[in-house]
Chain A
């Protein structure tokens, strides 16, 4: 059946042949990207081209937030002001406590002649976009290599560890969240000091390879142990939510939930760890 405006006998390849051609191209791209990790430059180029578009699309939302901020009623503002004041006060108290803990910590370290603790430099970043990707838990941040971010650095929010930088572009960064299935963090149970590995599990996390008799219970906090030299010691990672001790397996099944507001926080911090030479956990699936 000839379409009007199209010659009936053409020498060009038919649609099925062209589809096969393009599919072959797509498959070879996928092999190059997934197996040989050879297309970083292409990805970085596309990201650089569309970075302004991403910013432009976000601008009206920021603007709308500002405008709606103006229109909030006076009463609501007063309430919020009071609430905020209270929160600041509480935060001040906490800060003072944290400060004293920090100092105490420093002293103890010096006393015990452990290695010199260095405070980490950090970069505040905002979430640029959250891709809908059914295979992994990732997001893009709005600063990149130009701000000193390197692959492998940990990303935290006010409550705990969020993830690890896996790809760095000049002006943006891709973070793999701790809930990603390919992501493992060496941790310590805060209460007992027992070391363990916590793996991402989609929406939550799980501790694997802990013997059934291990002393672990719901409510325990897991903090980074620092032995991998990627994550600094003592960052809160997860809270144990459920412990099963099956009789037919040598290992306990421990489910936990991330401490950080993985899908709530907007502003995050990238820690410029001193030794970021550690390999990023899953550089490429």
Chain B
């Protein structure tokens, strides 16, 4: 492992960059809207959250909490849960990724994914716990399954999106 600070990939031109971010987030939102059912629904990662965390790490200036909050509210309405539950979880996720961004960039993508997993689990648990406090008993631990699929999705996305990382040896 090399310890020199990997440089972030060159900035995309700002206007272009926002267009890319908006399009990818919209795509994630639409994919989440598809009529999922059965096993696919249980294993469905939260596409919007993964995309948001990806950009929070990949974009040089990160992502604003306001955007995370708005997307979280949309997810709340989409899932029919208490308003604010996912919004809070998304904000926490974005904060954590941006906090550990420099540190993450020193690892290979595989090792980064291993650190994204507990992070995703934590955001899901935040949503679970806040939801549990404001409503009733939860129904089980699908959360771990979606955190696993979410990590895999993040890994694929990081590969495709040229996430800054140490080179694989």
Contact = CB atoms under 8 A, between A and B. Distances in A.
B111 interface: no
B139 A135 contact: yes
Nearest to B98: A15
Contacts of A132: 36, 41-42, 44, 79, 142, 146
Interface of B, helix, strand, loop or mixed by DSSP:
helix
Given A6-B61, A23-B91, A130 B83 contact: no
A140 B99 CA distance: 37
A138 B80 contact: yes
B83 A135 contact: no
Given A15-B98, A58-B35, A182 B136 contact: yes
Interface in A131-162: 131-136, 138, 140
Contact of A54 (B33, B98, B99, B136): B33
Chain A CB within 10 A, most for which of B38, B72, B87, B132: B87
A227 interface: no
Contacts of B73: 29, 46
Interface of A: 1, 3-6, 15-16, 18-19, 21-23, 25-35, 39, 42-43, 46-47, 50, 53-54, 56-58, 61, 127, 129-136, 138, 140, 167, 174, 181-182, 202, 263, 285
A132 B139 CA distance: 11
Contacts of B80: 131, 133, 136, 138, 140, 167, 174
B91 A19 contact: yes
Interface in B113-139: 128, 130-132, 134-139
Given A57-B34, A61-B34, A285 B61 contact: no
Contacts of A6: 61
